[in-house]
Chains A and B, each alone.
Chain A
Amino acid sequence: MQQEQLSNLRANIERRKLISAVFSGLGLLIIFVSTLILFILIAQMMMAGLPRITPQFFTSFPSRHPEEAGILSAWVGTLLVMLVTALIAIPLGIAAGIYLEEYSKKNWLSAIIEINVTNLAGVPSIIYGLLALGLFVYQFNLGQSIIAAGLTLALLILPVVIVTTREAIRAIPNSLREAAYAVGASRWQVVADHILPYSFGSILTGVIIGLSRAIGETAPVITIGALTFIAFLPDAPLQANFPFINFNWLKAPFTVMPIQMFNWVSRPEPEFEVNAAAAGTVLIVMTLGMNAVAIYVRYRFRKGIKW
């Protein structure tokens, strides 16, 4: 190659590499800025809230006196609502995802269902609240209870669970399905012996992401009428005498963490803002904890499974 041609070629390569470098620098900057903002927000809240996080904070009901107020009813309420949400959304969502991917015929009906499920994931959460208010609270007469809130949030995260389940299932190569069918497995055997075990890690990740969205939801829970001030706990699910388990707690009035925060933030006394920051810190730690579990689970289950 001639010397002149070669230097032209090199200049051309340099130009293209420069564009590439500019993009990577820009990307790094954007990531850095957004992470920094998040970090500052969390750090600021934690600094304000941390001194308030004492055992007393977890074991006290809300109070007119900021220093005596705690999040007992809020975290118990959040825990119970999440329990109901998980028990409803996980089996329903996974079953729906499996049905849509492995069983249903691909026709116009399944196409409509698919579009709707995807759209449902984008519906504003307050709309779910309105639906739940009409349907669960009044129509089914569940009242402003834990079960109503659990059902509402389950409805809210159901599309997320369905979509992630489908994506997890779709990631399994078809050759494995065919291998199982080729030795005479029935559809259910293929699902139970192969599809579910291989996609379990990814499905669980989706479930936990859905649950960590639900844990922070405020609007739909306010819409169905969660209380903002509650100074008693629901009946314990376990009892000393037969049948040892009771479901009264399902019908109990409740509050959840974000509502407790909202309540404190809206108070005029600045002392309550410290409480709000503390509750926010607890909520953030809960969410981050769930995400950490999701990452760990995904890592554990993917370790043995690759294709």
Chain B
Amino acid sequence: MVNPIFPSMMSNIKEFQPKAEVRNLDFYYAGSNKPALRSINLTIPERQVTSLIGPSGCGKTTLLRCFNRMHDLYAANRYEGGIYIDTVNILAHKVDPIEVRMRIGMVFQKPNPFPKSVYENVAYGLRVRGEKKREFIDYKVEEALRGAALWDEVKDRLNTSAYDLSGGQQQRLCIARALVTDPEIILFDEPTSALDPIATNSIEELIGKLEEKVTILIVTHSMQQAARISDYTAFMYLGELMEFGQTKIMFQEPTHEKTKEYISGRFG
């Protein structure tokens, strides 16, 4: 495909299976006439890790939160354009945000487990669907905790409070909470910014494993992290998508002047 704004932008993309397509997306925060996102066009590859990078305030988190309609929680935020998954625009009014959030999971910047037991934290995604079968929930909780590489650490204390876990464990618990409902995409909003290097490392390893099963979109402040874990990278600047491409190629030969400056650390 050819990007209408930056025809050169998509040049270094090898063939991939698209999972979601952002088309001409504009986003306005409540009461603002200035778009926080401007004509974003982006294709998210299936079962790959795509990272969103850029300086503070560039709109990367705003874009991420469009994917599960988080902005709908606050009145008068406005989308224009669309994000298409299987030809359905998930930003359309007739699409229920609850449906979108059931298909697209999210892991937040700060670990935010519920003040409940480890087990209940993971099971909650099933409970909201009205799932009652005890054996099924047990099975899914174990599967999700294994998927989040946490099972061995918590299997003996599933009924203790999630707040007794360490920060890194809490974040993996949040990943398990997102995994339990088998989402198609998981959004990560700077998932390691509140963690120490060891916990960060384990989360990064986990993301590498998860991409075999699920499409991952991750916002990160750290360019090293983007380089380490992502297959594709999108660079954003002042609410616009500057450049998108394979991470390896982009970090070596960025096409756009701004990308070059950002990657080489001249601003940020």
Q: What is the distance, in angstroms, from B146's C-beta to the closest C-beta of chain A? A: 19
A183 touching B112 in the complex, CB below 8 Å, given contacts A105-B75, A106-B75, A178-B73? no
Q: Does A40 contact B (CB under 8 A)?
A: no
Complex Cα distance, B154 from A47, in Å, reads 59
When distances are taken between beta carbons in the complex, the residues of chain A under 8 Å from B52 are none
In the bound complex, CA of A185 to CA of B128 (Å)? 6
Interface contact A184-B125, CB-CB below 8 Å? yes
Contact with B along A172-192 (1 / 0, CB 8 A): 010111111111111001000
> Across the interface, do B128 and A186 meet the contact criterion of CB distance under 8 Å?
yes
Contacts of B98 in A (CB 8 A): 184-186
- Chain B, interface residues (CB within 8 Å), range: 20 to 34
> Would you call B178 and A183 a contact (CB within 8 A)?
yes
Report B5 CB to chain A, min CB distance, Å.
31
Q: Once bound together, how far apart are the Cα atoms of A255 and B177, in whole Å? A: 56
A183 with B70, Cβ < 8 A, contacts A175-B110, A178-B112, A198-B115 known: no
Q: How many A-B contacts if CB must be within 8 Å?
A: 68
Known pairs A178-B108, A304-B161; A183 contacts B115 (CB<8 A): no
CB of A305 within 8 A of chain B?
yes
Per-residue CB contact flags for chain B residues 76-102 toward chain A (1 = under 8 Å, else 0) read: 000000000000000000000011011
Q: Which of B99, B110, B125 has the most CB of A within 10 A?
A: B125
Given contact pairs A177-B73, A181-B70, A307 touches B108 in the complex (Cβ within 8 A):
no
**B110 & A184 in contact (Cβ 8 Å cutoff):** no
User: In the complex, what's the smallest C-beta–C-beta distance from A300 to chain B, in angstroms?
Assistant: 14
Q: Which of B107-146 contact A (CB under 8 A)?
A: 108, 110, 112-115, 124-125, 127-129
11 residue pairs of the A-B complex, CB under 8 angstroms, read A175-B112, A176-B112, A176-B115, A178-B70, A178-B112, A182-B178, A184-B125, A185-B128, A189-B128, A193-B128, A307-B163
User: Which A residues have a C-beta under 8 Å from some C-beta of B?
Assistant: 105-106, 173, 175-186, 189, 193-194, 198, 304-307
8 closest A-B pairs by beta carbon, nearest first, are A184-B102, A183-B125, A175-B112, A182-B106, A184-B101, A305-B115, A179-B112, A185-B128
